[in-house]
A and B are shown apart, each in its own frame.
Chain A
Amino acid sequence: MSNDILFLAEFAGGSPARSALELATGAAELASQSGGSAVALAYGPGAPDGAAALGAHGATRAIVLGDDDRPAIAYAAAVVSAARDGGLALLAPATPNGRDLAAALVGTLDLPAFGPVRAACFSEGTIETEQATLQGSVITTSRPVDGAATPSVVLVLANTFTPNEGGSGSAEVIQAPAAEDSAFAQVTVAESHEADAKVVNLEEATIIVAGGRGVASEDGFGPLRELASALGGAVGASRAAADAGWIPYQLQIGQTGKVVKPSLYIGAGISGAIQHRVGMQTAEHVVAINKDPDAPIGEFADLFVVGDLFQIIPALTDEIRRRKGA
């Protein structure tokens, strides 16, 4: 059994997802504790050419599972086969695709599963993870039971690790052998539809300006976009705003949307219901703007501004532009 730490590296449109860079750095951190190497399991369009560059972020080796545009779950057999060859832990992004592949692995090889975690380390021979549970009211530490098989499967929240930048290393690229047949490979894309407007990947944003019911209309998101643009951030939303059709579901934050961990989250017209809170409570700084002085978000925001978002947000945008000299 090797002491390696594996991680899933998803590629799309020729480039690695940001999660791949974060997990490369995270896996390298854990591998330095376990005495092994960080090994990427790279899949999706662009993986064969892009896998070596994961070395700059910490990967020692990269096993390329395939480069076609199949649904991620169709790579399950290849992931299982790589995990069978060894490794103490496998890090997967806590995204729908990452969870699907992690679950396939857990069910096929009877592996312990953790997460989504907000921290992980390697000590006393096993992985140790830290997770916010019961809607963030308790932090639990978990380990595999004695004698559990490896690798331990760990779902990792976005922005748990900060990618090493400026490295120049190159990962050794290995082509995976053809995977065995699996029921998961029977999942195919029957139709694909592009949205009218380009949507950003919120999990990759370091600053998010999110709007809720209080934004009141599709046009109401205009001032939020201006503020996001002034800050160099992205726009997100609560479920209420997505359900109302004011913004695409890809931008929904919360239990049934994206789980984000930006350095700054600004919530405007968002009450802060628990379902939204679990999607953003690990943001480093939380600012809330709401006209209701008793909104629940006021109980956990770092800065709570009581007032009319349609007056305050444009004023804030002007002030930020002035300070940035733009």
Chain B
Amino acid sequence: MKIVVCIKQVPATGADKRYAEDLRLDRAGVEAIINPLDEYAIEQALRLVDDGSVENVTYLSMGPEQASEALRRALAMGGDDAVLVTDPALAGADEWGTAKVLAAALDKLAPDVALMGMASDDARGSLVPGAVAAMRNLPLLSYGAELNVADDAARVRRLSATGYDWLSAPLPLVATVTDQVGEPRYASLKGIMAAKRKPMQTWSLSDIGLSAGDLRGAALTRVTDTRPPEEKPPTERIENLPAAEAATKIADWLTTRKLI
């Protein structure tokens, strides 16, 4: 049983981020990390290795050359090898372009399960996993709080409106997991040392059978404008008041705004 975990390198959650003049995200000089929600996918894959149901974990990322750092960090947590797809034609890729590239790379890697995080920190559309599944004509098991794999099928436990369901589909497939799978493990010093010797390949577009023409600029959408959010009035504060007086003031505030 083989799992490929797709990971994305993103700017650190608290980092100062902005759009450059070409209306693309300016990533220069910004600390980069593994998308925090992808760490749960890594953790889920490694737990399946720990319990003996998966033999091989490969990491796949699309991004600039420095995204190899994210792959190396993932390898320090566990797993076997990694592939980075990088190409100048991929700059500015949107969700469709990203899905196109990951789908082609996954066709080549042919895992039983292609596993991803539920969303990325910096885009939050959550469309890449489902689009990859569609492009590869495979089932999608999404938003799993837990993933199980058996001989020829996988299951995810997914929150429903009133409880939870176990969704099932035949392998191979694409799956996503949430932050409920459990806290991602830390890389040990031994893990970090071992990661340096694990194989990492770098593929260009032609290595996965795509041309820049297939990708049409890697995006079907374009940002036409950016602006700061609307100015909000400064926060009003209520401090150092007995509870009853504070409550009256809050109720007055709500009444003025017709919220009561």
CB within 8 Å of B: which residues of A?
Answer: 12, 71, 73, 76, 96, 99-108, 110-116, 128, 132-145, 148-149, 153, 155, 182-184, 186-195, 198-199, 201, 207, 231, 239, 249-250, 255-256, 263-264, 274, 278, 285, 287, 293, 298-308, 311-312, 314-316, 318-320, 323-324
Contact = CB atoms under 8 A, between A and B. Distances in A.
B160 A192 contact: yes
A304 B236 contact: yes
Interface in B140-183: 140-143, 145, 155, 158-170, 178-180
Q: Among B143, B227, B228, B246, find the residue whose CB has the most chain A CB atoms closer than 10 A.
A: B246
B163 A195 contact: yes
B190 interface: no
Contacts of B237: 298, 303-306
Contacts of B133: 103-104, 107, 183-184
A302 B233 CA distance: 7
Contacts of B160: 192
B246 A307 contact: yes
Given A142-B222, A256-B119, A302-B235, 20 more contacts: A99-B125, A104-B131, A104-B133, A110-B96, A112-B220, A134-B18, A139-B228, A144-B220, A145-B216, A190-B167, A191-B166, A192-B166, A194-B162, A199-B161, A274-B14, A298-B237, A303-B250, A307-B246, A319-B244, A323-B255
Contact of B246 (A111, A128, A312): A312
A175 B141 CA distance: 28
B162 A278 contact: no
A318 to B, nearest CB: 7
Nearest to B239: A306
A26 to B, nearest CB: 18
B248 interface: yes
Most buried by B among A108, A239, A293: A108
Contacts of A306: 237-240
Given A195-B162, A207-B259, A274-B14, A139 B229 contact: yes
A320 B13 CA distance: 39
A108 B167 contact: no
Leading 7 A-B pairs by shortest Cβ distance:
A103-B130, A107-B134, A107-B131, A315-B247, A112-B220, A311-B243, A141-B225
B96 A111 contact: yes
28 contacts: A73-B139, A104-B133, A106-B99, A106-B127, A107-B96, A112-B96, A112-B221, A113-B96, A113-B221, A143-B224, A144-B221, A145-B220, A149-B220, A183-B137, A188-B169, A192-B165, A193-B163, A193-B165, A199-B162, A250-B161, A301-B235, A303-B250, A304-B238, A305-B246, A305-B250, A315-B243, A316-B251, A319-B244
A319 B247 contact: yes
A142 to B, nearest CB: 5
A285 B19 contact: no
Contact of A132 (B18, B162, B166, B229): B229
A182 B132 CA distance: 14
B14 to A, nearest CB: 7
Interface string B82-107: 00000000000011100100010000
B228 A138 contact: yes
Given A138-B19, A141-B224, A190-B155, A155 B229 contact: no
B210 interface: no
A264 B248 CA distance: 17
Residue of A116, A192, A263, A308 ringed by the most chain B CB atoms within 10 A: A192
A100 B219 contact: no
Contacts of B119: 255-256
B221 A143 contact: yes
Nearest to B40: A256
Q: Kindly name the residue among B141, B155, B162 whose own CB sees the greatest number of chain A CB atoms within 10 A.
A: B162
Contact of A103 (B118, B127, B137, B250): B127
Contacts of B227: 138-139, 141
B191 interface: no
Contacts of B139: 73, 183-184, 186-187
Contacts of B28: none
Given A302-B235, A315-B247, A116 B253 contact: no
Contacts of A264: 254, 259
A312 B253 CA distance: 15
A263 B155 contact: no
Nearest to B258: A263
